[in-house]
Amino acid sequence: MRLHASVDRRAGDFHLQADLEVPDGTTTAVIGPNASGKTTLLRVLAGFLRNDNGEVVLGKQVLDSGMGGTYLDPSRRNIGVVPQGYALFENMDSVGNVAFGIQSAGVRRQAARRKAAEFLEAFGLQELSALKPAELSGGQSQSIAVARALAIHPDLLLLDEPFSALDSAARPRMRSQLRGWLAEARTTTVLVTHDPIDALTLADRIVVLEGGRVVQSGTTGDVTSNPRSAHVASLLGTNLLKGEAQGRRVAVRDLRSSAADEARGIDLTLSEGASGAVFVMFAPSAVTLSVSEDVTSARNRILCTVDHLEQLGERVRVSLGGDVHLSAEVTPMAVAELGLAEGSQVWASIKATEISTYPR
Amino acid sequence: MFALAAVALAYVAVPLLGLLFEVEWSDLGEQLSSSESLTALRLSLMTSVVATIAVIFVGLPLAWVLARVSFPGRGFVRSFVLLPMVLPPVVAGVALLAAFGRNSAIGGWLHDVLGVQLTFSPAGVVVAQTFVAMPFFVVAFEAALLGRDSQPEEVASSLGADSWRVFTRITFPAVAPAFFAAVALAWARALGEFGATITFAGNVAGRTQTAPLGIYLQLGTDPGAATAMSVLLLAISVGILVGLRGRWLVGR
């Protein structure tokens, strides 16, 4: 079912104000840094928190219309919830966990357990049926928690950081399993995550929350090819700056820089003309480093200081400071040849053809 | 430090050991089976059990509300409920008399309309015991509820369970050990109740003379019987402590 939510909720100093549209049968990922309001948003949708203002509508049913208006108790919303730690019922085996919702709907215990067992079998989880939560691994717990939520055939499925409790080795397999289940169930889904891989692999659409506000929303392709916030850019591991373009010249500053930092910044040359306020994006792998100024043919050269070096797989991520902050990706061999270390000075070069711009 | 700690320990141990030395073990059984002692013990057992059931019946919802529902004045209610714990029991008795005595509005109505008299009746003993024992249960059980993660309860409600089903299937199984500990504490307090009982319900043999009252009375006439009954109450207390070991009183 289609979800339309206009959430407005205060909690102390924090104010969440976010609109969310999730088309029927699709998955929307809500991403954002810690304390951006992701979990609060999910809790309002589930009905664990009341909305202060605005409507939450699922299909044609109004679930919450703000203070003084309609409010449906969570038990009367047909919404499946998978919380961050999974919150399995410790005193029940897997069948009991999955049967709980079926039984709550009025099905007798034996019949509910039989249905739950069939459900687990359909999910390929029958060997876990008789196990208690304490006997399950992290991945198995997640599977049972998702099965438990889907067993009530929810109109909306809410997943809060479904992989954060898992070790990184288990994540890819669990991600592809969840992807299969979501595709099969075709349930409208809202997924909260801080991991861009989750959003890229599981979601049709992405909503970016920052400080309780939606800073960007759109299809997964839109958001990743045109990030509009430092958070998304750093999640995607790309360089994102803001600039004022005039033809093929663009004056570039850090995204978070204020008017007071006006003097700081650099000029870059573009391969295609642009005008006005733009975002400037280029991949860390498009940044090459050298110790002297005249080694490469790239037109854009910037003198930087190495802030930080970090091994990422077979590459080294070099965080650079100076008039703007950049990151570059080089081979460990290049680090050795250039003699890079925290504090050393390098020239960063970016080919004009590697830089893309889009309006702010 | 250690010396003073040892003094404190001795302060608890010496009187109890004295009691054990004082008692005539050979005729303990005979002393306890005297009709007077048996009547008092039976009355104590019955009233304290009924009082404990009453405590659970209303104290459990109260503990749940205090732990799970946020409302203005919750802090005040929380402290207020504890009052009988710190109140001198005799004051509790006087307060109960003022509220439920024959000359009070409620007590008069109970007597005239329903024909129920609480003073000088076993029912009055139950009322007094319930009053003083309730906070022990509420404090212990509320602490257990507060210590629980409420996420499984939220998930259960999202799966369509109403609050009763959530409580009986999810909350209660998780806090059952603490529940029984809280019940034991309240029962122990009810069993030992003296001040409020004698003030409110009086000391009528066979009707309101519970074991503690019996002990106090017999101390003058039959010290052997009083000591024997004291030893029995001590044994019950020790039994409760052993049962609670590691749950509530120790190791938390």
Best B148, B151, B158 residue to mutate vs chain A (most A CBs within 10 Å): B158
| Nearest alpha carbon to residue B142 among B187, B194, B75, B52 | B75
User: Does B154 reside within a domain?
Assistant: yes
User: Does B27 reside within a domain?
Assistant: no
What is the number of structural domains in chain B?
A: 1
Closest residue on chain A to B148 (Cα): A87
User: Does A106 reside within a domain?
Assistant: no
- B interface toward A at CB cutoff 8 Å? 149, 151-152, 154-163, 165, 169-170, 173-174
pLDDT, position B249: 46
User: Does B136 reside within a domain?
Assistant: yes
Residues A257 and A226 in one domain: no
What is the distance of C-alpha B173 from the center of its chain?
23
Give the three-state DSSP class for A305. Answer: strand
User: Does A194 reside within a domain?
Assistant: yes
pLDDT, position B158: 96
Residues of chain A with C-beta less than 8 angstroms from the C-beta of B161: 75, 100-101, 104
* B218: containing domain: 41-244
Residues A38 and A152 in one domain: yes
CB atoms within 10 A of CB A272: 11
pLDDT, position A229: 82
Whether the CB-CB separation of A283 and A238 falls below 8 Å is answered with yes
User: Does A102 reside within a domain?
Assistant: no
pLDDT at A124 exceeding the cut of 80? yes
User: Does B1 reside within a domain?
Assistant: no
Beta carbons within 8 Å of B223's beta carbon, 6+ residues apart:
none
| ipTM exceeds 0.95 | no
Q: What's the rounded Cα separation, in Å, for the pair A263 and A288? A: 25
Residues of chain A with C-beta less than 8 angstroms from the C-beta of B156: 89, 100, 104
Q: CA of A360: how far to CAs of A218, A221, A226, B160, in Å?
A: 15, 17, 10, 45
Domain boundary among A230, A260, A282: A230
Q: How far is B191 from chain A (nearest CA, A)?
A: 33
What is the number of structural domains in chain A?
A: 2
* A65: containing domain: 3-88+136-230
SS (H, E, C) B134-183: HHHHHHHHHHHHHCCCCHHHHHHHHCCCCHHHHHHHHHHHHHHHHHHHHH
Average pLDDT over residues A264-280: 84
| Helices A138-150, A109-122: crossing angle, 10 deg rounding | 120
| Nearest alpha carbon to residue A125 among A97, A94, A80, A104 | A94
Which A residues, 55 through 94, put their C-beta within 8 Å of a C-beta on chain B? 73-81, 83, 85, 87-91
User: Is B63 exposed, middle or buried, given 0-12, 13-18 or 19+ CB atoms closer than 10 A?
Assistant: buried
Please state, for a pLDDT cut of 70, what percent of chain A lies above it.
97
Strand partners, A250: A245, A268
pLDDT, position A23: 95
Q: What's the rounded Cα separation, in Å, for the pair B142 and B81? A: 12
Q: What is the pLDDT of residues A43-69, one digit of tens each?
A: 999 999 999 999 999 999 999 998 888
- CATH number of the domain enclosing B117: 1.10.3720.10
User: Does A113 reside within a domain?
Assistant: no
| Nearest alpha carbon to residue B193 among B100, B87, B97, B103 | B87
Q: What is the pLDDT of residues B100-122, one digit of tens each?
A: 888 888 888 888 888 788 888 89
pLDDT at A297 exceeding the cut of 70? no
pLDDT, position A268: 87
Q: Which helix (H) or strand (E) holds B113?
A: none
**Strands across the sheet with A326-330, in order?**
A287-290, A345-350, A300-312, A315-321, A326-330
User: Does B25 reside within a domain?
Assistant: no
Best A44, A79, A100 residue to mutate vs chain B (most B CBs within 10 Å): A100
Distance between terminal CA atoms of chain A? 33
Q: Name the least confident of A34-48, A299-313, B26-40, B129-143.
A: B26-40
pLDDT at B252 exceeding the cut of 50? no
Q: What is the pLDDT of residues A177-186, one digit of tens each?
A: 999 999 999 9
- CATH number of the domain enclosing A163: 3.40.50.300
Q: CA of B246: how far to CAs of A228, B108, B177, B178, B218, in Å?
A: 56, 46, 11, 11, 36
Beta carbons within 8 Å of A51's beta carbon, 6+ residues apart:
A7, A8, A9, A44, A64, A65, A66, A67, A71
Residues A355 and A258 in one domain: yes
Q: Checking DSSP bridges between strand A326-330 and strand A315-321, what pairing results, if any? A: antiparallel
User: Does B13 reside within a domain?
Assistant: no
Q: Name the least confident of A31-35, A287-291, A294-298, B78-82.
A: A294-298
Residues A19 and A66 in one domain: yes
Q: What is the pLDDT of residues B9-52, one digit of tens each?
A: 999 899 888 888 888 788 787 778 787 888 888 999 999 999 99
Residues A211 and A152 in one domain: yes
- What the block records as the tokens of B103 is 């000359």
Residues of chain A with C-beta less than 8 angstroms from the C-beta of B152: 87-90
Q: Checking DSSP bridges between strand A27-31 and strand A300-312, what pairing results, if any? A: unpaired
Q: Which among A77, A89, A105 is the nearest to B152, CB-wise?
A: A89
- What the block records as the tokens of A259 is 């008017």
Beta carbons within 8 Å of B227's beta carbon, 6+ residues apart:
B19, B22, B23, B24, B31
Whether the CB-CB separation of A256 and A230 falls below 8 Å is answered with yes
Looking at mean pLDDT, say which of A260-269, B69-78, B100-109 comes out highest. B69-78
pLDDT at A353 exceeding the cut of 60? yes
Which A residues, 226 through 285, put their C-beta within 8 Å of a C-beta on chain B? none
User: Does A103 reside within a domain?
Assistant: no
Domain boundary among A190, A206, A230: A230
Name residue A214's amino acid: V
pLDDT, position B64: 92
Beta carbons within 8 Å of B162's beta carbon, 6+ residues apart:
A75, A104
- How sure is the predictor about B251, in pLDDT bands with cuts at 50, 70 and 90? very low
- CATH number of the domain enclosing A350: 2.40.50.100
Q: What's the rounded Cα separation, in Å, for the pair B77 and B30? A: 48
Domain boundary among A230, A262, A296: A230
Closest residue on chain B to A150 (Cα): B159
Residues A183 and A56 in one domain: yes
| Nearest alpha carbon to residue A7 among A48, A338, A23 | A48
Residues A221 and A305 in one domain: no
Average pLDDT over residues A313-342: 87
Q: What's the rounded Cα separation, in Å, for the pair B38 and B29? A: 11
| DSSP helix, strand, coil percent of chain B (3-state; round to 5) | 80, 0, 20
Please state, for a pLDDT cut of 70, what percent of chain B lies above it.
97
Closest residue on chain B to A47 (Cα): B158
User: Does A123 reside within a domain?
Assistant: no
Closest residue on chain A to B175 (Cα): A91
Residues A22 and A59 in one domain: yes
